[in-house]
Amino acid sequence: TSAHLSKSPELMCIVFLFLVLSSNSAKAQLGVFMGGNISDVRHDKLLLNENGIPNNKPLPGYFTGLSFQFYPFHSQDKISFIIDVLFNKKGYKQQLLDTTFVRRLNYISLPLQVNYDFTSRFSMNTGVEFSALMLPITVFKEYDNSYRQSDISLTIGANYRVSDECNLFTRFNYGVYPILDYYKIDNIGNIIPVKDIRNINLMIGVKFNIIYEKICRKIPHSIRTCAVVGLCQRRGVFCYH
């Protein structure tokens, strides 16, 4: 599994380029987004203090990136696909005695999501996020190489369209694979593999659309006039009859 994950950055680029180049046949939105996040990790009793109580704490961060959303089905204008490319500062804090240590994990991520418009303003999406780890920033440099170079998360999110140019959104990322992978030696010399700690990440942000071309609902023959079509085109909405 690790070998497959290590190839994920190349796979992410190939998938993204393919979708962008094939987007001429589907109407799309292109935007930039940014916001803040809260990150932490879940674990199997690896991060405990001297009393056996988990000593990891949430860590605030930020993210920014590009979003590409396209509507491939002319007859299903509520369904779209979203591909993001983003820089996301994740990580966690760990309390050891009276000192708090920060484990900062910076990722370049490519979420692939399916979006459904419940109303003209509210939508939800879900999918999978592939991430490549940049250089970890931790106090204990000897452990930096113990973190996996890639990660996979499940995502679920919600969007609120303020206007054609601006969306508010939130997204929760739930890490699937352990990001800490190393070996330790116990008191009698046994080699013990350690595979633990999974990312969790809550994002809240705003997206500004640079290009807004959305499929509109089919217009009945009785009201299909040049004026109606012209109105759709002025709003950046393309109708299919």
pLDDT beneath 50, residues of the chain = 1-7, 23, 215-241
Strand ranges in the chain using DSSP code E only, listed in sequence order: 27-42, 56-57, 59-71, 79-96, 99-117, 122-133, 150-161, 166-175, 180-185, 191-196, 198-212, 214-215, 237-238
- The predicted pLDDT at position 212 comes to 76
Looking at residue 194, its pLDDT comes to 62
Token readout for 43 is: 């674990």
Summarised one tens digit per residue, pLDDT across range 144-202 is 577 888 899 999 999 999 998 899 999 999 999 888 765 556 567 666 556 678 899 99
Of the candidates 89, 38, 93, 87, which has an alpha carbon nearest to the alpha carbon of residue 66? 87
Q: What's the pLDDT tens digit per position in 56-68?
A: 788 999 999 999 9
- Taking the C-alpha atoms of residue 141 and residue 55, their distance in angstroms, rounded to an integer, is 20
**DSSP state for residue 137 in the 8-state scheme:** B
What is the per-residue pLDDT for 191? Answer: 62
Distance CA 240, CA 130 (A): 34
